[in-house]
Amino acid sequence: MKKILLVLAICCTTLSYAQEKGQWIIGGNAGYNSDKNENENESSTTKTFTLSPSIGYMLNSKIAIGLGFNYSTADEELENIYYGYSMNYKTTSFGINPYVRIHKNITERFLLFVQPGIFYSTNKIEYDDSEDDVKLKGFGLDCSLGFLYFISDKLSLELNVLSVDYSSLEETDGEYKNESFGINYNLTSPNMGLRYYF
């Protein structure tokens, strides 16, 4: 009898942390990073804040589709000792990000996820010593890798530790265009978020 009760308890525990078809997911991520670089001629300091709320829907126990919204600000101070000038500017970005998320259980509470998606963004760069703001629009592809840990049957803690992205930025009123490819490791300052399932 005790063995039967133990098996039932384990099964119930496993089910209580399972993601199910038809569940909705709301949540988001937030991150802050401060980076300083110096050499004998130049120094720069960049402070970045990101906020990424999202909503998703479980197609089955392993796959979810969703829509994310991204907001970020980056303040940069640049000082060139050799030429004797300094420059401060702020970049503000808004974006939208449809995605697919694929989950893989490591334990009953601990999951790995891979999240490919596409994104569109608008960006504005404001310079302290100029009234002419630079406006950019961009699109791209991204894929992130991270982990989920269920701290209750409906709430999970999330860490994004790696992202790969391709982006294309184009000035709204000019000829500037830039394409970039990046691999970002977030092991020292990972983006942290929460997800609520209902």
The pLDDT value recorded for residue 196 is 93
Rounded to an integer, what is the distance from CA 127 to the centroid of its chain? 26
Q: Rounded to an integer, what distance in angstroms lies between the CA atom of residue 68 and that of residue 51? A: 10
Query: What is the tens place of the pLDDT at every residue in 6-51?
Result: 333 333 333 445 577 889 999 988 878 888 877 777 778 888 898 9
Closest alpha carbon to 96 in 116, 115, 117, 113 = 117
- For 62-87, the pLDDT digits (tens) are 999 999 999 999 988 887 766 677 77
| CA distances, 99 to each of 47, 90, 135, 185 (Å) | 27, 28, 26, 20
Query: What pLDDT, on a 0 to 100 scale, did the predictor assign at position 1?
Result: 45
CA dist., res. 114 & res. 100, Å (int): 8
- Tens digit of each residue's pLDDT (9 = 90 or more) over 98-152: 999 999 999 989 999 999 999 999 988 888 776 778 888 999 999 999 999 999 9
Burial 163-182, CB ≥16 within 10 A → b, else e:
bebebebeeeeeeeeeeeee
CA separation for the pair 76, 63 (Å, rounded)? 39
pLDDT band at 190 (very low <50, low <70, confident <90, very high): low
Residue type, 76: E
| CB-based contacts of 176, cutoff 8 Å, min separation 6 | 134, 136, 169, 170
Map out the domains of the chain with their CATH numbers: 2-197 (2.40.160.20)
